[in-house]
Every structure is written in C-alpha cells, then in structure tokens.
Amino acid sequence: MNPQEIKSFFEKFSEKRSRTIVILDFGNVVKWQVSLKWRIGIRHLGNIVKNFSTGQKFLRRFYYGSDYGPNEKSLDMDNWSRVMLAQANMSGFEVVTKRVKYIRSQDNVYGYEKKCDLDVEMAVDLIRERDNYDNIVLFSGDGDLMYAVRYLNAEFGKKCYVFGARDHIGREVFDAKKDGIVTSIFFTEDFEYRLNMDRNSH
C-alpha cells in the first residue's frame, strides 16, 4: 500500500473505529525491528492505532512482559520494561503484563533464556470482550491466535485485520486470509513513513 491508499483505507474504516479492538503484542513488534532495520516507537504505534480504534481505552490493548531479572524474588523491574509499559500507558493503551520467566539454557551465552508468552491472555481477552467490538486488529503475525480468531468469526461474525512485518507473519495467518477469516493483512514496511522512530525524530 502506498500512502494515498493507506489514507483512503483509514477514511473508509473510520466509521468502524468505535467498535474495533486492537491487540498489540509488543514482544512480537520488537522482533520486527531486526529485519526492518529501523526502530518502531510506542508513541508512533499509538498514533497508528488511533486510526483503527477510538473506542474506550480497554479496546486498545498492549501486551508486554515485566522483566524483574533472573532473581525470582526481585521486586525491581528492569528499566527497559518499566519505560516501555509507562510509554504504552501514556500512549492510550490498556497495558496487560506478567512477569518474565528466566529459564536455564546451555545454548544461551548468558546461561538462560527469557520467556513471557501472552497468547493465552490475548485469546481470553478477545473472547471475554466480544460483545464490545465487531472488528479485531492484531499487531502480531503470530499464527497461534488464528484459532481464537476463527472461532470468533464462525460464532460471532467478528472480522479480523492483521498488522505485521512481512517476514514475521505465520502461515496460519495467510491461510486464514485465504479462507476469508482475515479480511486484510497490513505490512509494517508500508507504514515506515509513520512508524520509523529515528526518521520522525528529526
């Protein structure tokens, strides 16, 4: 999509914004940046999301782990996590988080791997809030959520739009698009002029 096509889509979508839920998996978004080779700012994400959803704050949902380090008894959150979660809240998101787990791993140079999967929370929230929206916008290319999306489409007629980087969209998402479960797939690269944190800071 070029900028004019994006603008045209948002104009047509505007009447749906009050009945749209946004599920933003920030752990997934962070991974996009490696292949994109540019940074995505949370404030910029918030501005894009406003084009999809202008309903109540709980319909703009931001999922990311709270990292307290490998010491399970630690009460001091990692500064990165604290800043990201605070920025999300200030950018108009309802923040959903849980503690990051540190799992021992001989394959990792640090001796452990971080894990914080929020897919279950996302799926449950989509089902629990189903009476409050008609459209779903997923900022995640993770195919695991397609099981819940298929259910919501079949049982409640919910329409889904997926926003993700080209190399980070699961086969299940494309299969759902082919089956008419996913209405549209938006590629992050097409939105670089509105999402590139470094470019927009100058």
Q: Which two tokens stand for residue 12?
A: 């047509």
- The 10s digit of each residue's pLDDT in 101-114 is 998 877 765 678 88
> Mean pLDDT over residues 165-188, rounded?
95
**Residue 202's pLDDT band (boundaries 50, 70, 90)?**
very low
Q: Which CATH superfamily is domain 3-64+117-200 in?
A: 5'-nuclease (3.40.50.1010)
pTM greater than 0.85: yes
**Domain edges within the chain:** 3-64+117-200
Q: Which of 141, 143, 146, 142 is nearest to 126 (CA)?
A: 146
At 112 the pLDDT is: 80
- The 10s digit of each residue's pLDDT in 94-103 is 999 999 999 8
- The 10s digit of each residue's pLDDT in 14-72 is 999 999 999 999 999 998 988 888 888 899 999 999 999 987 899 999 999 999 998 88
Q: What rounded mean pLDDT belongs to the chain? A: 91
CB-CB contact of 21 with 127 (8 Å)? no
**With 80 as the cut, is the pLDDT of residue 173 above it?**
yes
Quickly tell me which residue has 């047509």 as its tokens.
12
The pairing of beta strand 112-115 with beta strand 101-104: antiparallel
**With 60 as the cut, is the pLDDT of residue 201 above it?**
no
At 198 the pLDDT is: 58
